[in-house]
Structures are given as structure tokens and as C-alpha cells.
């Protein structure tokens, strides 16, 4: 693997795909034999961020931070009603008022725009869209696998795999990582091909990690250095700043004044 790449020259991407994994942390994935696709196929195509961190525990506040630049004071995994919906700016607001399209895709959600708290392998706590008052229920849909390329692909696509495919559930860490690796091997290739052909960027990241909240993050896309390492220290607030910077809209919450990942 290459080391210590030079800073990436920021250039706007027409599409950004953010895919969020769960909990196992950087150490469980990096060089793991349980993640051959991630380590042998994905990382060689992009830049690995070796010092990227979540901003809270448990899961939900990290999703809120990635979507709005703040945990909104949430310290638990409660569903809407107990937490929010919040009347604050978020990625949906910032992008759509500037003419960009935003869609969330949630695997195993029972129906498009569902407000259910838990259903099988779907949990609302991993879907930030319903936690914000300005986001209409038409903005998040059931993820049924990538259909790329497509003429109506949104500018920002958020994908949350289900509890097995995002590495959250499993008999042990090895199984969890393996399940997520298999899902990525089946779902990312067409998205990568789309991004390469349509000026798109993939941000594959994680909500939180068990060791110092150290999370796995890799960026893949045109102009992203391949098989490279970025050792800079970043958090979810740098990730959301990457998105607002890319589309030229005002920064959100705690990301104000921070650099993006690019």
C-alpha cells in the first residue's frame, strides 16, 4: 500500500455516495483476512484514512452528526418522538435549496418513507432522514441494490445497509466483518463503475468504533489517489464538510471552519 499521499486537489464531483458501516472499528477491518474485498480490491482503488474517528457513542448521534453537523444533543438510540424531529438545517436542506438532489436508501426498510422504529433487520437509528423536520418522507426509500448507471441518479446518495450487511450483527467480530465484506463485494462494483464514468465520489465510512472511536474510512473516485494513505486526523464533521464543500453550500454545525477530507 502506498504511504502518505499528497493532499488531494479538491474538484467538485457531480455525485457523492456515502455508505455507512457499523461499530467494528478500524482495527477489525484493516488487513483482516475476513475482509478480502475491502483490503485487496477497494483500498487499492482509493485512499484509506487511517486516523478517522466517530464523535459519540452510541450509533444514532453519529448519524445525526454526519447529516447535520451536530449530534443535536442526542446520547442514545431512541427513535423519533423521543429524539426529534429537529428543526435545524441539514444536508437535505443545504443541497436541495441550491438545486441539488438528495436521496437516502435504507436496506430492509419495510416501505419507502417508513417511520417505523424497528422492522426486522432495519432500525431507524441508522437512518438520519426522519430525524429532521424539513426532510419529506419521499426523500428516503428502500434500498434494493444498485441500479447503475441511471439518468436520475441523485447528487447525494446515502446508503445504509441492514443490520447484517453493515457489520452490526453477527456471532462474533469475524462474522460481522465477513458479512459486510461480502455485501460490499456485491454492491459496490456497479457504483464504482458509475462514479468512474460520471464524476462520482464514494465515501465508505463507519458510525463508531470500540477502540477510541477509531473508524474505517476509504474514498474512491476519479482524482482520488489510488492505493494511498491519508494519515490526517479527521472526524464525521470533516466528512460532512467534504460534502458541503463539494457542492459549494454553507457548512453545517460543528463542521464550520474545518477542512474536508479532500
Question: Which CATH number do you get for residue 133?
Answer: 3.40.720.10
Give the mean model confidence (pLDDT) for residues 113-126.
98
The domain containing residue 75 runs over which residues?
15-255
pLDDT tens digits along 191-233:
999 999 999 999 999 999 999 999 999 999 999 999 999 999 9
**pTM of the predicted model, to two decimals?**
0.95
- C-alpha distances (whole Å) from 106 to each of 111, 116, 119, 127 are 9, 12, 12, 7
185-197 pLDDT, tens digit per residue, is: 999 999 999 999 9
- Sorting pLDDT into bands at 50, 70 and 90, what band is 151? confident
Is 75 inside a domain boundary? yes
CA 109 → CA 22, 194, 202, 208, distances in Å?
17, 25, 22, 22
Q: Is residue 62 situated within a structural domain?
A: yes
Residue 33, preceding bond cis, omega within 30 degrees?
no
pLDDT digits 0-9 by tens, 92-104: 999 999 999 999 9
- Is there a domain that residue 6 lies in? no
> How many domains, the chain?
1
- Looking at the chain, the whole-number percentage of residues with pLDDT higher than 90 is 93
Q: Does a structural domain hold residue 2?
A: no
Please check whether residue 124 lies inside any domain of the structure. Answer: yes
Contact 165, 105 (CB under 8 A): no
Residue 261 lies in a domain: no
Helix (H, G, I), strand (E, B) or coil at 185: helix
**Beta pairing, strands 15-21 & 156-160:** parallel
Task: Judge whether 137 lies within some domain.
Answer: yes
Closest CA to 126 of 58, 214, 188: 58
Amino acid at each position: 500500500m502506498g504511504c502518505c499521499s499528497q493532499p488531494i486537489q479538491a474538484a467538485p464531483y457531480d455525485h457523492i455516495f456515502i455508505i455507512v458501516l457499523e461499530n467494528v472499528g478500524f482495527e477489525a477491518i484493516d488487513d483482516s483476512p475476513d475482509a478480502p474485498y475491502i483490503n485487496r480490491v477497494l483500498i487499492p482503488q482509493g485512499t484509506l484514512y487511517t486516523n478517522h474517528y466517530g464523535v459519540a457513542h452510541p450509533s444514532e448521534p453519529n448519524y445525526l452528526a454526519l447529516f447535520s453537523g451536530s449530534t443535536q444533543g442526542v446520547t442514545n438510540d431512541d427513535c423519533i418522538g423521543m429524539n426529534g424531529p429537529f428543526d435545524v438545517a441539514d444536508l437535505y436542506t443545504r443541497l436541495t435549496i441550491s438545486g441539488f438532489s438528495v436521496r437516502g436508501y435504507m436496506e430492509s426498510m419495510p416501505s419507502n418513507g417508513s417511520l417505523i422504529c424497528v422492522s426486522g433487520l432495519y432500525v431507524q437509528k441508522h437512518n438520519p432522514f426522519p430525524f429532521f423536520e424539513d426532510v419529506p418522507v419521499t426523500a428516503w426509500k428502500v434500498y434494493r441494490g444498485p441500479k447503475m448507471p441511471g439518468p436520475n441518479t441523485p447528487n447525494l446518495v446515502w446508503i445504509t445497509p441492514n443490520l447484517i450487511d453493515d457489520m452490526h450483527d453477527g456471532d462474533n467480530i469475524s462474522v460481522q466483518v465477513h458479512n459486510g465484506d461480502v455485501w460490499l463485494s456485491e454492491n459496490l462494483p456497479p457504483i464504482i463503475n458509475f462514479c468512474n464514468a460520471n464524476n462520482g465520489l464514494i465515501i465508505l465510512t463507519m458510525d463508531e468504533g470500540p477502540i477510541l472511536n477509531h473508524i474505517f474510512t476509504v474514498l474512491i473516485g476519479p482524482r482520488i489517489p489510488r492505493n494511498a494513505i491519508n494519515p490526517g486526523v479527521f472526524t464525521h464533521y470533516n466528512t460532512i464538510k467534504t460534502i458541503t464543500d463539494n457542492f459549494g453550500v454553507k457548512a453545517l454545525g460543528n463542521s464550520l471552519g474545518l477542512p474536508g477530507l479532500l
